[in-house]
Amino acid sequence: MKREIIITADGSATIHIPEWNEQYHSKHGAIQEAYHVFIKHGLQHICLKPNQSLSILEIGFGTGLNALITLLEAEKLQIKINYVGVEGYPVNSQEVEKLNYASQLKSNINLFRELHNIAWEEAHQLTPYFSLQKQNKFFKEIKDKDSFNLIYFDAFGARVQPELWTESIFKKMHHALKNEGVLVTYSAKGSVRRAMQAVGFSVEKLPGPPGKREMLRATKL
Ligand SMILES: C[S@@+](CC[C@H](N)C(=O)[O-])C[C@H]1O[C@@H](n2cnc3c(N)ncnc32)[C@H](O)[C@@H]1O
């Protein structure tokens, strides 16, 4: 499918898919949304002490924005993160060059390029606090058990990919999490909340990022 780079309301880029009229992030601000949903209500919620180590699974590595802000946050919080990003349709190097996250976040462009250039399937220690393994596969192939403290569930919306917001996918997410593990997502749909509850998650509605009233956080008890 055709992909175009556009600029969102906070000045950060995202990818637009004309055929679906769908974006990788909110048009109200890609960085703002990523920070609010995944860092504030995900990482900062579960990680309270320095020197902790955590494992994170990202559903949809895409532009690498969530990985970059998590890498930067790991340095700030002084926690060690093992990050696994699953992606079925990787971005290409021309797209990476048009994504302005390093300059918007006042970070090193070479670090952002490295996130994208490292080999798939192997873990790479990119900073003392952040190791990244990218897995090129489809979400339905995920078979991890009791492996992650946190899941960033960042699939395209249920309007365009309803099959990714079902009990069968959330069952995989529940298996992949350790006990007391947490999944965060920008979606607040009632059908999504009910699918999460049906597979055993305890689900909270939280205030959403700019332009969105609510989001969901699900905990494996
Ligand atoms: C909403 S985008 C978010 C991407 C990413 N989190 C980011 O910040 O750029 C969803 C991502 O899921 C990927 N994707 C869609 N369907 C998939 C599937 N069935 N299996 C694996 N990846 C998929 C897309 O290619 C896209 O990169």
Integer Cα distance of 49 and 119 in angstroms: 31
Residue 162 CB less than 6 A away from ligand 1: no
Distances (CA, A) of 196 to 22, 34, 170, 173: 23, 21, 6, 9
Query: How large is the average pLDDT for residues 99-103?
Result: 98
* Amino acid of residue 86: V
Residue 156 CB less than 6 A away from ligand 1: yes
pLDDT in tens, 10-56: 999 999 999 999 999 999 999 999 999 999 999 999 986 777 899 99
* DSSP per-residue letters across 89-117: SPPPHHHHHH--HHHHTT--HHHHHHHHH
Name the residue at shortest CA distance from atom 17 of ligand 1: 88
Name the residue at shortest CA distance from atom 25 of ligand 1: 89
Residue 85 CB less than 6 A away from ligand 1: no
Query: How large is the average pLDDT for residues 202-220?
Result: 97
pLDDT of residue 52: 85
Integer Cα distance of 99 and 6 in angstroms: 9
Integer Cα distance of 125 and 1 in angstroms: 32
Q: How does DSSP classify residue 19?
A: T
pLDDT in tens, 103-158: 999 999 999 999 999 999 999 999 999 999 999 999 999 999 999 999 999 999 99
Strand partners, 219: 182, 202
CB 45 within 8 A of CB 204: no
Chain-wide mean pLDDT for the chain?
Answer: 97
Residue 66 CB less than 6 A away from ligand 1: yes
Q: Please identify, by atom number, the ligand 1 atom nearest to the C-alpha of residue 152.
A: 6
Q: Please identify, by atom number, the ligand 1 atom nearest to the C-alpha of residue 58.
A: 6
CB 109 within 8 A of CB 61: no
pTM over 0.75: yes
CB 67 within 8 A of CB 132: yes
Residue 20 CB less than 6 A away from ligand 1: no
